[in-house]
Amino acid sequence: MRLIDAIEMAHQAGLDLVEVSPNTEPPVCRIMDYGKWLYEQKRKAKLSKKKQHVVTTKEIRLRPEIGDNDLDVKVNQAGKFLEKGDKVQFTLRFKGREVMHSDQGVELMNGVRDKLASVSKVDRTPIMMGRRMIMILVPK
């Protein structure tokens, strides 16, 4: 169809002539309400964005000499974060000469990992970074 005829048909219908596929030979055009189409595209993008869950990393700080009850509270909080779908980073800070006993830190981190094994898996195993030991857990 000639371009002038297509424009005339769109004008008579009170709609717009929109080029759908410009790279083909001949280019493909469509008669439609362009404003309505733009609105629907924005609405679809907004709905798809609404359904997405952004994964955030929550940090829980520990100490090598943490009490059992305090550790249980922090592990329970980490479990809640994991159930919501967030990553959890455990940071074990060593002060002074505590860094000499990093093996105790590894045992503590492994205990945390075992307690949360039902809802998580290890993304990064416990590694030392200066005076900190870091372990990252992700939801199953």
Q: What is the pLDDT of residue 135?
A: 95
Give me the phi and psi of 64, to 5 degrees please: -65, -30
Nearest to 92 by CA among 76, 112, 72: 112
Do 65 and 108 sit in the same domain of this protein?
Answer: yes
Q: 125, 135 in Cβ contact below 8 A?
A: yes
- The Cα diameter of the chain in Å comes to 86
Handedness of CA 71, 75, 78, 80 (dihedral sign): negative
Q: What is the pLDDT of residue 66?
A: 92
Do 21 and 77 sit in the same domain of this protein?
Answer: no
Do 78 and 109 sit in the same domain of this protein?
Answer: yes
Do 97 and 29 sit in the same domain of this protein?
Answer: no
Do 9 and 67 sit in the same domain of this protein?
Answer: no
Do 74 and 110 sit in the same domain of this protein?
Answer: yes
94-104 per-position pLDDT tens digit: 999 988 888 99
Do 70 and 29 sit in the same domain of this protein?
Answer: no
8-25 per-position pLDDT tens digit: 998 999 999 988 888 888
Q: How far apart are CA 72 and CA 74, in angstroms?
A: 5
Which CATH number fits the domain that encloses residue 61?
3.30.110.10
pTM tops 0.75: no
Q: How far apart are CA 26 and CA 129, in angstroms?
A: 62
Q: Which domain holds residue 20?
A: 3-50
Domain count across the chain: 2
Would you say residue 81 has pLDDT above 90? yes
